[in-house]
Amino acid sequence: MTNTGVERRRPPNVEFRYLTPAGRRPTQYEEVTLHTQWSPRNFAAQGWFSPGSNGRPMWSEDSTRLRALDWWAYRDPAQLWFRPYVELQARQEEAIELAVEGAKQSGLFAEFAPVWRRILSHYYAAYRYVEYGLFLCFCYVQREALSDVVATPLVFEGLDKDRHAQAIALYCMDLEESLPDFSDRAAERVWLEDPVYQPTREYIERLLACRDWGEITIAVNLIFEALAAPMFGQEFLARFAAHHGDSVTPVILATAEADRRRSRGATVELLRFLMREDPANATVAQQWLSQWTPLAARAAHAFAPLFEMTDEKPVNFIEAWQRVSAAWAAQIQQLGLEAPRIEVMPQ
Amino acid sequence: MARSLTKAYERVKNIDWEPSYISAADKYVEATRFYLPKKALDPFKTFIREYFLMEREKESRHYALLEAASRLQGSNPEPRWMEGMKFALSNLSAIEYSAGRQMGRMARVVAPMELRQGYMMQVLDEMRHTQLELNALRHHMRSWQDPSGYDIALKAAGNSVGAGIFRALAEDFSTCDAVETSLGLQVLIETAYSNIFFVGLSSAAAQSGDQVMASTMLTIQSDESRHMANGYATLMTLLQDDRNIPLIQEAFDKWSWRGHMGFEVGLSLFADYFVKHKTESAREMSQRWLLDDFYGGFYKKLAKYGIKEPRWLPDVIRNSEWASHTAAVYLFGAWPVFYHRYDPIDEREMEWFEKKYPGWYSHYGKFWEAYQQMTDADAGMLVTKELGGLPAFCQVCQLPWIFPRPDASTGSTIEREGRTIAFCSPACKSIFENDPNHYSGFKTFYDLYDGWDLADVIVDLGYVREDGKTLMAQPVLEPRRMWTVDDIRRCRYEVTSPLRKTAGVSAGGSPHSAVP
């Protein structure tokens, strides 16, 4: 080609000039994520064109008490963008399908102890409401988050929660197919009325009423998912399953747990980043910790009766709680924050 | 999966509950002025599991092509097209991004579960599309002979005056009523323009030798039916309640016009002016896909519910006749404030235009003759200046007030709160007057640059190459010598608001004074 005024060349080192990579060279994640969200704070010099009826622009600094000089300086430690995310989730869903299909073919579901069937049909089936409620929370959080790099892991987290909710519903249908007396009909009542779930439901509903996306993110990933969710999913279900002939549920739980770990990592990094941006964010996060931790601890303790429902008890509630709450406190302290002291409430 | 899909889907979506620790209003975040029945039409039945498996497959196929294209570098795309993509791709990705972020808001405000699931898949789809487009852009930046302009893509999408057209549209559908978002975005934009956009643009890309863009558009199109289904399901759900009819009509009146100005005008410019080997004109595509298929088919079927033709549709039709050419007068006339090279049309193309748009030469011929005389940096003539300066921009759609045709503009101004505000058309003026606060508060191009030397504007925008003085934009693909900031400075063109020039003289100036 000669008609273009420049010599034909292949510029392998050309980079986007508007982004500052975290490392020496920008990653593909940075290139396809950074500055897709505009703001007068990056390049939109004309300002916001269309405020809503509430007078707020499309993205508004008052959507959270957290403050940052540059919201685009954050990086998701997992560096996820659409393609790797979809690959990751397709692999996880295939793992679930394989486990379920294998169990069906080998008749493994028949090995599930009767008490365990009841636990799955009542309590695990009801957990999809938790995941669904969190999904709704993240619908809001991802809309409001103040930059693309901050929002992207939150978009994925919303979809993770939707995936978990659906995985539970589909699994229950698989169990119904294989076990004639199995039904998840009671799950909604358990969610709405069973004391095991009421503090969790209160937590989720309070999150739904919260309008600070930063607060929701921290109250979910650094508090609920670190303190209450593991008591049910990891300490109770996953540890008790094998003792009741169940090798399938732990596979589903492991995928959900992997998602949770990833989201927690993103939020830990978000908070570290924000405390570097503005030390006042530590005070805000500390206030949220004081506010939400007692509720999460109450939700965790409400799961205690589950640990007493079976004859086989691979772990008791107190041990499990000590392990989970100690790991949680260590993580909060690593962030330079204070883990609120948890009063163990009488059941 | 052996299980019944319908049964499984019912189970999966039967999950909503009425809260008791908080109020229902708290759960839905915002109110909508529309009336939403409890039960909605189901747009489609896809589990998230199937979504992941299906999208992974689509991604693999597309990225295999992209990777092969990067390795082989065998194609010889049309320079005109590749330069135009600097403007197109940078702006597209931002619209897709904002559309995705809206879906979560809609999922919270719109109660029926059936719709909520569909919206959430669209969240991911839109992220997919944003990143497909940025990967195409990234590929182009690293394979095209002149990366300049690609390398500032999303900065330019933020600060270019032309980019305001797309951001204003996206902000409008992001901050209006959340149900209106569905009617505007999913019905009047995604359904109405899907074919023109994805089919038309992908075949234009293929004709221009840009296989990466052709594949990008086609793989995006494969998700679009989901978005149309979302819009259709929302609409059919709303139509169950007669109180919604006037509200739907109002939304369609507005978005039929907003979609046209904010989206179709840009598309038509691309189809007519960035494709060297022309086949179908933008107007023919608009006739076939927009007027015959969408308004003549899809939309017409709504008549039985009492939905009338959109209020401004006759103006859309009239505007479509000249939209691409008028947009070209703007984009080419104002070339120094953009960030790509231009390829002015040649004799053969002029004939094609006259054939496809009878009367074209009498309205636009002079502009092109003037343009062609002013491409040499040494001559120091700036088409922008010689033809009367930059125009005023519409308060609503951000296009210049020279539509439908510079010599027959429908532009006007009003005085509001001590400011003169310009409109491109009675439609945009009426949309503004219905909700003035929704279209106020930003800085116009002239609020930023009135009284500046054009050279300083270009430097401020950052549209210069790495040597700090050569312009990114060039009025021809192969200038004898590239224009620099100094060339522009020698032209002595002070950016002057057309509204300031005539303020106090008449109602704030006339669009005719600013164009040939």
Please spell the DSSP secondary structure of B154-169, one letter per residue: HHHHHH-TTHHHHHHH
Say whether pLDDT at A15 is over 50: yes
CB atoms B123 and A142 under 8 Å: yes
Task: Out of A239-253, B147-161, B499-513, pick the least confident.
Answer: B499-513
Percent of chain A with pLDDT over 70: 95
To the nearest 10 degrees (0 to 180), the angle between helices B265-273 and B323-333 is 80
- Residues of chain B with Cβ-Cβ distance to A183 below 8 Å are none
Any domain includes B301: yes
- To which H or E segment does residue A51 belong? none
- Return the residue matching tokens 């000039």: A17
Q: Distance (Å) from the C-alpha of residue B56 to the closest C-alpha of chain A? A: 6
Q: What is the pLDDT of residue A345?
A: 59
Measured between alpha carbons, how far is B261 from B432 in angstroms, rounded to an integer?
14
Residues of chain B neighbouring A151 (CB-CB closer than 8 A): 101
- Could you tell me if the ipTM is greater than 0.85? yes
Contact criterion met (CB < 8 Å) for B158 and A47: no
Residues 43-72 (B) with a CB less than 8 A from some CB of A: 47-49, 52-53, 55-56, 59, 63
- For residue B154, the chain A residues in CB contact (below 8 A) are 16, 18-19, 34-36, 38, 43
Residue spans of alpha helices (H) in B110-240: 113-143, 153-159, 163-175, 178-181, 192-194, 201-207, 211-238
Amino acid A2: pLDDT: 34
The answer to whether the CB atoms of A50 and B29 lie below 8 A apart is no
Say if CB B147 and CB B72 are below 8 A apart: no
Q: Could you say which residues from 272 to 311 on chain A have a Cβ atom under 8 Å away from some Cβ of chain B?
A: none
Calpha distance B264→B287 (Å, rounded): 12
DSSP annotation of B296 reads I
pLDDT higher than 70, residue B391? yes
User: Cα(A295)–Cα(A298) distance, rounded to whole angstroms?
Assistant: 5
| Per-residue model confidence as pLDDT tens digits over B272-295 | 999 998 889 999 999 999 999 999
User: Cβ contacts (< 8 Å) between B155 and chain A: which residues?
Assistant: 17-18, 35, 42-43
Range of the domain at B235: 42-63+78-334
Cα(A202)–Cα(A209) distance, integer angstroms: 11
DSSP string, B345-380: --HHHHHHHHHHSTTHHHHHHHHHHHHHHT--TTTT
Q: How far apart are CA B345 and CA B367, in angstroms?
A: 11
User: How many domains is chain B partitioned into structurally?
Assistant: 1
pLDDT average, residue stretch B333-354: 96
Q: Taking 80 as the threshold, does the pLDDT of residue A294 lie above it?
A: yes
User: Does B33 lie at the interface with A, CB-CB under 8 angstroms?
Assistant: no
A323 at the B interface (CB within 8 A)? no
Would you call A189 an interface residue with chain B, using a CB distance cutoff of 8 Å?
no
- Other Cβ atoms less than 10 A from the Cβ of A146: the count is 23
How far does A323 lie from chain B, in Å, by closest CA?
30
Tally of CA atoms within 13 A in the half-sphere of A222 that contains its CB: 31
Counting Cβ atoms within 10 Å, is residue A73 exposed (0-12), middle (13-18) or buried (19+)? middle
Cβ contact A45–B477 (<8 Å)? no
Which residues 210-269 in chain A show a CB within 8 A of chain B?
211
Residue B501 lies in a domain: no
CB–CB of B63 and A83 under 8 A? yes
pLDDT-derived band at B2 (thresholds 50, 70, 90) equals low
Phi, psi at residue A65, to the nearest 5°? -80, -10
Residue A205 to residue B176, Cβ atoms within 8 A: no
Which residues have C-beta within 8 Å of that of residue A341, sequence separation ≥ 6? none
A contact residues 26-85, partner B, Cβ 8 Å cutoff: 28, 31-38, 42-53, 55-58, 81-83
In percent, the amount of chain B with pLDDT more than 70 equals 96
Residue B211 lies in a domain: yes
CATH of the domain at B236: 1.10.620.20
Stretch B403-417: mean pLDDT, rounded?
95
Interface A-B: count of C-beta contacts within 8 A: 271
In chain B, which residues have their Cβ closer than 8 Å to the Cβ of A11? 142, 147
Which of A28, A139, A205 has the CB atom closest to B108's CB atom? A139
Question: Does residue B506 belong to any structural domain of this protein?
Answer: no
Q: What is the pLDDT of residue B109?
A: 86
| Contact partners, residue B507, CB within 8 Å, separation at least 6 | B412, B413, B414, B415
Average pLDDT over residues B233-262: 96
Test the B interface: residue of A59, A162, A192, A204 with most B CBs within 10 Å:
A162
Q: Which pLDDT does position B108 carry in this prediction?
A: 87
pLDDT value at residue B514: 41
Nearest residue of A to residue B59, measured between CA atoms: A83
- Structure pTM? 0.95
B347 occurs within a structural domain: no
pLDDT band at residue B501 using 50, 70 and 90 as cut-offs: low
Query: Do the Cβ atoms of B134 and A55 come within 8 Å?
Result: no
Label residue B428 by pLDDT band (50, 70, 90): very high
Please name the residue of chain B whose CA is at the shortest distance from the CA of residue A5: B478
Check residue A317 and give its pLDDT. Answer: 97
Minimal C-alpha gap between B198 and chain A (Å): 20
Task: Find, among B177, B194, B293, the residue nearest to B238 by Cα.
Answer: B177
Lowest mean pLDDT among A154-163, B6-15, B87-96, B487-496: B6-15
Q: Say yes or no for a CB contact (<8 Å) between B145 and A7.
A: yes
Residues of chain B found within 8 Å of residue A35, distances taken between Cβ atoms: 154-155, 157-158
Q: Which of B22-31, B163-172, B196-205, B378-387 has the highest mean pLDDT?
A: B163-172
pLDDT at B76: 87
B residues 393..412 contacting A (CB < 8 A): 398
Q: Is residue B353 part of a domain?
A: no
The answer to whether residue B240 sits within a structural domain is yes
Name the residue with higher pLDDT: A193 or A180. A193
Nearest to A45 among B23, B53, B448 (CB): B448
User: Taking a contact as any Cβ pair under 8 Å apart, which residues of chain B between 109 and 148 contact chain A?
Assistant: 117, 120, 123-124, 127-128, 130-131, 134-135, 138, 141-143, 145-147
CA distance A231 to chain B (A): 23
Residues of A in contact with B437 (CB under 8 A): 51, 53, 55
Of all residues in chain B, the percent with pLDDT exceeding 90 is: 80
Closest Cβ opposite residue B146 in set A4, A87, A155 = A4
Please report, for residues B195, B282, B292, B296, the alpha-carbon distance to residue B288 in angstroms, rounded to integers and kept in the order given: 10, 10, 5, 10
**Mean predicted confidence (pLDDT) in B55-66:** 94
pLDDT grade for B6, boundaries at 50, 70 and 90: confident
pLDDT digits (tens, 9 = 90+) for A123-135: 999 999 999 999 9
* Whole-number pLDDT of residue A63: 97
Per-residue pLDDT reduced to its tens digit, B451-479:
999 999 999 999 999 999 999 999 999 99
Task: Give the mean model confidence (pLDDT) for residues A79-90.
Answer: 98
Residue B382 lies in a domain: no
- pLDDT at residue A177 tops 50: yes
Asked if A47 and B53 come within 8 Å (Cβ–Cβ), the reply is no
B342-346 long-range CB contacts below 8 Å, 24 or more apart?
B342/B83, B342/B473, B342/B474, B342/B475, B342/B476, B342/B477, B343/B79, B343/B80, B343/B83, B343/B276, B343/B476, B343/B477, B344/B368, B344/B371, B344/B372, B344/B375, B344/B475, B344/B476, B345/B273
Contact B168 A49 (CB under 8 A): yes
pLDDT above 80 for A275 = yes
Query: A98: burial class by Cβ within 10 Å (0-12, 13-18, 19+)?
Result: exposed
- Calpha distance A240→A250 (Å, rounded): 9
Q: CB distance A82–B127 less than 8 Å?
A: yes
**What is the pLDDT averaged over residues A270-283?**
98
Residues of B in contact with A27 (CB under 8 A): none
Mean pLDDT of A70-90: 98
- Per-residue pLDDT, B38: 80
Instruction: Work out the minimum CA distance from B22 to partner chain A, whole angstroms.
Output: 6
Confidence class for position B74, pLDDT limits 50, 70, 90: low
CA dihedral (B377, B380, B385, B387) positive or negative = negative
- Residue A82 has its nearest CB partner, among B79, B128, B437, at B128
Out of A93-107, A281-295, B91-105, pick the least confident: B91-105
Q: Which residue has the tokens 């793989």?
A: B219
* Residue B35 in contact with partner chain A when CB distance is under 8 A: no
Q: Which residues sit opposite B421 in a β-bridge?
A: B414
- In this prediction, residue A11 has a pLDDT band, given cuts at 50, 70 and 90, of low
- Closest-approach residue (CA) in chain A for B341: A4
- Cβ–Cβ gap A15/B151 under 8 Å: yes
